[in-house]
């Protein structure tokens, strides 16, 4: 039964001519699939419908071919041909009474047009503003271009209606949509009636909304997504100007969708942003307009959600990442199962799917984007197969997810853990600065497992092959994890580097185990990062906070290079600067000597020495697969021991981010006792239909 304090989240509310059944609003979010994987993306939205969301949106949809953001893979609505694919998505969204929304994006100064080869159009002529500083510029829209663009929006709105959508979101946030480019004095330097005063800069938005309302407004609602604060200095569209804009144009859209700054500001990872971080920026805007307001803030707590509505901060709870980690949040709150919510950990791995143009993953929800490809459902598992018992060795994210999912299938699961805590690497990493929310990977699974009668956990149980052969389990899942290498092997060095034993060298495992002195005042520590994800930056932070003078050495041109894909690279660099860390980019490490390290320039190989008292070696990790190899060596004994399968999963098989481990655990659980597919592809794939020659 639902707790009455959450009733407020289930009150229906009108959006223009339509009514949303509740206050759960899945704001537009990318998924790395988009136009390339339309059925996969549609099925993912369908799961949200089943999970109870009142409003469900597409990702950004390029509404005209003259503005597109290749290489990023979103949706396209360029011609009638695109309608069936989008209808598949709107159909899926509407299956359980949700309103289906499409976000129309004209990328303007953000669209390099690499695919269409059209000249980009924007309010003012200037270089295209993208993550990759593409060497192309936009031409300023002429008056007749603006007339064309208004018509293109109307065409897209009509096609959206034909595609079955209820709501149209006009994108003007995150620096990505043309409405913001008109509103901001940074990107709109026009001297005609579309530039200058705020009233002039709002003109284009007013015209487009009026045009669309005339065309489809009787049956469709129009929402406008604007940034709460562009945060690019004095010329940017500031929070004060946003308030003025809403006040001036209070009744313009049927709903205001407010999102913070650039994408990296809006989707701030938990390392740098708390839940509801945008509250100050959004508070009070609702009073400036008669229209409802939706805002985001990585909301996972139903109490915070209810407070947002009760205090009049928001009318709708906007969620992207929380709806990815748990598409069933509304249903779980409704059914009084809030403890079952699989909370987003704010790691931004989902965003890396878009940034790498692959297909998204989620650390917490391994079924994300596999709903169609593999037929995986986030809440339901396939039926149990022939065998009955599974021994999982290791309780890291891979082992824990395998245990949770296998127990749902009905297997009797025993999980053996060498230490006295569940969670493997997550149990250690959650104690690092900024990473406590990552502990939710363990907390969610630990609770779920505790509710199941068919999972037994054994601590202090470091198992060897001999014991496993004695136990009599039918299936053995080896999830024994990985360890950081101390020998420097990663990318710069493919064989161990020269290291003098007189120099203290700590791996991240050593640091997490507290093997370094707690007080490092007066000592110089070199953090060598040839891993390039978060660990190097975090280690530098730990060392600096312990009082050391820290020199971060990395062969890359960026601190924590790969975190550009999780949108936190800038924040990490800034934090290290603030902590006084000396940053040496494009610099490798060629030798560790007593009292010094030898570093080299990544380009010239010019070498020099840096005096140091210790080194933190953030190189690479090696899978702990010895137990698996022992078992394989004794395969002849399996049949007598009753063993039917032995499998190596997660970091023990191949070290990778935590999301890879939860995926591996889930996959293991899904595939146990299923028939061998031989050489067939293990997922469904959509191939573009060929046009006639
Ligand atoms: P993954 O990310 O693949 O889940 P982790 O390194 O997070 O891997 O977790 C592996 C877990 O396995 C650790 O908690 C570790 O203590 C445990 N472990 C390793 N070897 C054994 C073993 N032989 N018996 C039981 N537990 C083990
Ligand atoms: Fe949240 Fe991480 Fe999942 Fe994204 S990948 S939804 S940030 S848990």
Task: With residue 90 as reference, give the H or E element that holds it.
Answer: helix 83-93
Q: Give the residue whose CA is nearest to atom 16 of ligand 1.
A: 418
Characterise 624 by phi-psi region: left (phi > 0), alpha (psi -120 to 50), beta (else). Answer: beta
pLDDT digits (tens, 9 = 90+) for 632-660: 999 999 999 999 999 999 999 999 999 99
Residue 55 reports pLDDT greater than 90? yes
Give me the pLDDT at residue 148, please: 98
Give me the pLDDT at residue 524, please: 98
For 127, 136, 262, 377, the CA distances from 124, given in Å and listed in that order, are 10, 14, 19, 47
**In angstroms, what is the span from residue 74 Cα to ligand 2's centroid?**
19
**In angstroms, what is the span from residue 466 Cα to ligand 1's centroid?**
18
**Ligand that comes closest to the CA of residue 629:** 1
346 CB near ligand 2 (under 6 Å): yes
Angle at 369 between CA 365 and CA 370, to 5 degrees: 85
Task: At 648, give phi and psi (nearest 5°).
Answer: -105, 125
Characterise 161 by phi-psi region: left (phi > 0), alpha (psi -120 to 50), beta (else). Answer: alpha
Give me the pLDDT at residue 232, please: 85
**In angstroms, what is the span from residue 148 Cα to ligand 2's centroid?**
39
- According to DSSP, the β-strands at 18-20 and 13-15 are antiparallel
Number of the ligand 2 atom closest to the C-alpha atom of 298: 1
392 CB near ligand 1 (under 6 Å): no
CA atoms lying within 13 Å on the CB side of residue 676: 3
419 CB near ligand 1 (under 6 Å): yes
567 CB near ligand 2 (under 6 Å): no
566 CB near ligand 2 (under 6 Å): no
pLDDT confidence band for 266 (50 / 70 / 90): confident
Compute the average pLDDT of residues 194-220. 97
Interatomic CA distance for residues 529 and 621, integer angstroms: 12
> Looking at 131-135, 204-208, 534-538, which range is the least confident one?
131-135
pLDDT digits (tens, 9 = 90+) for 362-401: 999 999 999 999 999 999 999 999 999 999 999 999 999 9
Percent of the chain whose pLDDT exceeds 70: 100
**In angstroms, what is the span from residue 513 Cα to ligand 1's centroid?**
15
For 23, 109, 516, 523, 537, the CA distances from 547, given in Å and listed in that order, are 48, 45, 12, 8, 16
Q: Residue 645's Cα: distance from chain center in Å?
A: 34
Compute the average pLDDT of residues 149-160. 98
Q: 233: burial class by Cβ within 10 Å (0-12, 13-18, 19+)?
A: exposed
Compute the average pLDDT of residues 127-147. 96
461 CB near ligand 1 (under 6 Å): yes
Q: Give the residue whose CA is nearest to atom 2 of ligand 2.
A: 347
Give me the pLDDT at residue 262, please: 83
**In angstroms, what is the span from residue 673 Cα to ligand 1's centroid?**
23
The SS3 assignment for 469 reads helix
**In angstroms, what is the span from residue 111 Cα to ligand 2's centroid?**
26
From the list 226, 251, 252, the residue with the least C-alpha distance to 241 is: 226
pLDDT confidence band for 312 (50 / 70 / 90): very high
Tell me the best of 421, 427, 481 to mutate to test the pocket of ligand 1, counting ligand atoms within 8 Å of each CB and taking the most: 481
Give me the pLDDT at residue 684, please: 97
Q: pTM for this structure? A: 0.97
Q: Give the residue whose CA is nearest to atom 3 of ligand 2.
A: 362
User: Who's near 81: CB < 8 A, 6+ residues apart?
Assistant: none
Q: Residue 515's Cα: distance from chain center in Å?
A: 33
- In contact, 599 and 608? CB cutoff 8 Å: yes
**In angstroms, what is the span from residue 554 Cα to ligand 2's centroid?**
27
Q: Helix, strand, coil shares of the chain as percentages rounded to 5?
A: 35, 20, 45
- Tell me the pLDDT of the chain averaged across its residues: 97
Q: What angle in degrees, to the nearest 10, is found between the helix axes of 38-50 and 83-93? A: 20
The SS3 assignment for 367 reads coil
Task: At 135, give phi and psi (nearest 5°).
Answer: -80, 45
Element counts in the chain: helices (H) and strands (E): 22, 30
Q: Which domains does the chain have, with CATH numbers?
A: 4-355 (3.20.20.70), 389-481+624-671 (3.40.50.720), 486-621 (3.50.50.60)
Regarding predicted confidence, which is higher, 198 or 263?
198
**Ligand that comes closest to the CA of residue 394:** 1
For 81, 269, 283, 317, 656, the CA distances from 303, given in Å and listed in that order, are 44, 21, 17, 12, 34
**Ligand that comes closest to the CA of residue 31:** 2
Interatomic CA distance for residues 571 and 576, integer angstroms: 9
- In contact, 248 and 281? CB cutoff 8 Å: no
441 CB near ligand 2 (under 6 Å): no
The DSSP letter of residue 675 is P
Give me the pLDDT at residue 496, please: 98
Tokens of 599: 């570093």
Give me the pLDDT at residue 265, please: 83
For 53, 308, 343, 378, 693, the CA distances from 327, given in Å and listed in that order, are 8, 20, 10, 8, 42
Within 10 angstroms of residue 345's Cβ, the number of other Cβ atoms is: 29
From the list 462, 483, 508, 488, the residue with the least C-alpha distance to 627 is: 462
Interatomic CA distance for residues 99 and 55, integer angstroms: 5
Number of the ligand 2 atom closest to the C-alpha atom of 324: 6
Give me the pLDDT at residue 87, please: 98
pLDDT confidence band for 218 (50 / 70 / 90): very high
Number of the ligand 2 atom closest to the C-alpha atom of 345: 8
For the CA atoms of 425, 429, 431, 435, the dihedral, rounded to the nearest 10 degrees, stands at -140
**Ligand that comes closest to the CA of residue 324:** 2
Percent of the chain whose pLDDT exceeds 90: 94
**Ligand that comes closest to the CA of residue 651:** 1
Within 10 angstroms of residue 258's Cβ, the number of other Cβ atoms is: 27
Q: Give the residue whose CA is nearest to atom 5 of ligand 2.
A: 362
Give me the pLDDT at residue 675, please: 94
Give me the pLDDT at residue 231, please: 85
Which residues partner with 598 through β-bridges?
A: 591, 609
424 CB near ligand 1 (under 6 Å): yes
First to last CA, the chain: 60
pLDDT digits (tens, 9 = 90+) for 443-468: 999 999 999 999 999 999 999 999 99
324 CB near ligand 2 (under 6 Å): yes
Angle at 517 between CA 515 and CA 518, to 5 degrees: 105
Residue 4 reports pLDDT greater than 90? yes
Compute the average pLDDT of residues 128-146. 96
**In angstroms, what is the span from residue 36 Cα to ligand 1's centroid?**
37
616 CB near ligand 1 (under 6 Å): no
pLDDT digits (tens, 9 = 90+) for 73-102: 999 999 999 999 999 999 999 999 999 999
Tell me the best of 402, 480, 646, 654 to mutate to test the pocket of ligand 1, counting ligand atoms within 8 Å of each CB and taking the most: 480
Residue 326 reports pLDDT greater than 90? yes
The DSSP letter of residue 650 is G
Interatomic CA distance for residues 283 and 278, integer angstroms: 9
Give me the pLDDT at residue 274, please: 87
Tokens of 526: 């070199």
User: Who's near 453: CB < 8 A, 6+ residues apart?
Assistant: none
Tell me the best of 422, 424, 624, 657 to mutate to test the pocket of ligand 1, counting ligand atoms within 8 Å of each CB and taking the most: 424
pLDDT digits (tens, 9 = 90+) for 571-629: 999 999 999 999 999 999 999 999 999 999 999 999 999 999 999 999 999 999 999 99
Interatomic CA distance for residues 352 and 369, integer angstroms: 13
Residue 352 reports pLDDT greater than 90? yes
Tell me the best of 364, 418, 427, 445 to mutate to test the pocket of ligand 1, counting ligand atoms within 8 Å of each CB and taking the most: 418
Tokens of 633: 């060596």
654 CB near ligand 1 (under 6 Å): no
From the list 33, 119, 26, 116, the residue with the least C-alpha distance to 75 is: 33
Task: With residue 324 as reference, give the H or E element that holds it.
Answer: helix 321-325
pLDDT digits (tens, 9 = 90+) for 271-299: 998 888 888 898 899 999 999 999 999 99
Q: Give the residue whose CA is nearest to atom 6 of ligand 2.
A: 321
């Amino acid at each position: 039964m639902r707790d009455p304090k959450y009733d407020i989240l289930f009150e229906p509310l009108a959006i223009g001519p339509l009514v949303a059944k509740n206050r759960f609003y899945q704001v537009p979010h990318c998924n790395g699939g988009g136009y390339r994987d339309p059925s996969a993306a549609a099925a993912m939205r369908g799961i949200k419908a089943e999970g109870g969301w009142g409003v469900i949106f597409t990702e950004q949809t390029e509404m005209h071919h003259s503005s597109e953001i290749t290489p990023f893979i979103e949706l396209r609505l360029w011609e009638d041909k695109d309608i069936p694919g989008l209808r598949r998505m709107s159909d899926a969204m509407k299956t359980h009474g949700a309103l289906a929304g499409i976000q129309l994006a004209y990328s303007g100064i953000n669209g390099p047009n690499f695919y269409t080869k059209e000249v980009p159009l924007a309010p003012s002529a200037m270089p295209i503003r993208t993550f990759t500083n593409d060497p192309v510029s936009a031409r300023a829209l002429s008056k007749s271009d603006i007339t064309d663009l208004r018509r293109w929006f109307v065409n897209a709105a009509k096609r959206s209606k034909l595609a079955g959508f209820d709501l149209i979101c006009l994108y003007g946030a995150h620096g990505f949509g043309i409405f913001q480019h008109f509103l901001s004095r940074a990107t709109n330097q026009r001297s005609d009636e579309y530039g200058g005063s705020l009233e002039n800069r709002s003109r284009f938005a007013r015209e487009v909304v009026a045009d669309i309302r005339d065309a489809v407004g009787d049956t469709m609602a129009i929402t406008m997504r604007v940034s709460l604060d562009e945060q690019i200095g004095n010329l940017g569209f500031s929070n004060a100007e946003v308030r003025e804009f809403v006040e001036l144009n209070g009744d313009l859209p049927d709903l205001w969708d407010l999102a913070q700054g650039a994408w990296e500001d809006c989707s701030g990872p938990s390392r740098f942003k708390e839940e509801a971080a945008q509250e100050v920026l959004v508070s009070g805007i609702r009073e400036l307009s008669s229209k409802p307001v939706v805002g985001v803030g990585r909301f996972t707590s139903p109490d915070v959600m209810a407070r947002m509505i009760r205090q009049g901060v928001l009318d709708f709870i906007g969620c992207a990442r929380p709806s990815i980690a748990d598409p069933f949040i509304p249903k779980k709150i409704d059914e009084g199962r809030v403890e079952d919510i699989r909370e987003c950990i704010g790691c931004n791995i989902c965003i890396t799917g878009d940034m790498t143009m692959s297909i998204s993953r989620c650390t917490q929800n391994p079924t994300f984007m596999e709903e169609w490809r593999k037929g995986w459902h986030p809440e339901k598992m396939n039926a149990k197969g022939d065998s009955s018992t599974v021994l999982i060795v290791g309780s890291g994210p891979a082992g824990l997810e395998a245990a949770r999912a296998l127990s749902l299938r009905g297997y009797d699961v025993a999980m053996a853990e060498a230490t006295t805590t569940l969670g493997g690497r997550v149990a250690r990493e959650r104690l690092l600065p900024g990473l406590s929310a990552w502990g939710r990977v363990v907390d969610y699974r630990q609770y779920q497992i505790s509710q199941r009668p068919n999972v037994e956990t054994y601590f202090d149980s470091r198992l060897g092959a001999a014991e496993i052969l004695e136990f009599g389990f039918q299936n053995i899942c080896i999830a024994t994890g990985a360890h950081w290498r101390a020998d420097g092997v990663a990318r710069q060095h493919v064989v161990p580097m020269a290291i003098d034993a007189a120099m203290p060298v700590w791996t991240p495992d050593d640091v997490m185990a507290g093997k370094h002195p707690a007080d490092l005042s007066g000592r110089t520590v070199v953090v060598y990062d040839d891993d390039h994800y978060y660990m190097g930056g975090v280690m530098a932070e730990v060392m600096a906070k312990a009082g050391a003078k820290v020199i971060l050495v990395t062969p890359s041109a960026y601190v924590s290079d790969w975190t550009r894909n999780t949108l936190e690279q800038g924040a990490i660099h800034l934090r290290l600067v603030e902590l006084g860390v000396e940053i040496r980019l494009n610099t490798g490490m060629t030798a560790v000597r007593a009292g010094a390290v030898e570093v080299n320039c990544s380009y010239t190989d010019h070498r020099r020495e840096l005096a140091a008292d210790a080194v933190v070696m953030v190189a690479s990790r090696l899978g702990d697969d010895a137990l698996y190899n022992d078992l394989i060596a004794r395969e002849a004994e399996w049949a007598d021991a009753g063993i039917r399968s032995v499998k190596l999963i997660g970091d023990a098989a191949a070290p990778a981010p935590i999301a890879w481990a939860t995926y591996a655990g889930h996959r293991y659980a899904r595939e146990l006792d299923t028939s061998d597919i031989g050489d067939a592809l293990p997922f469904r794939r959509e191939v573009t239909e060929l046009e006639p020659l």
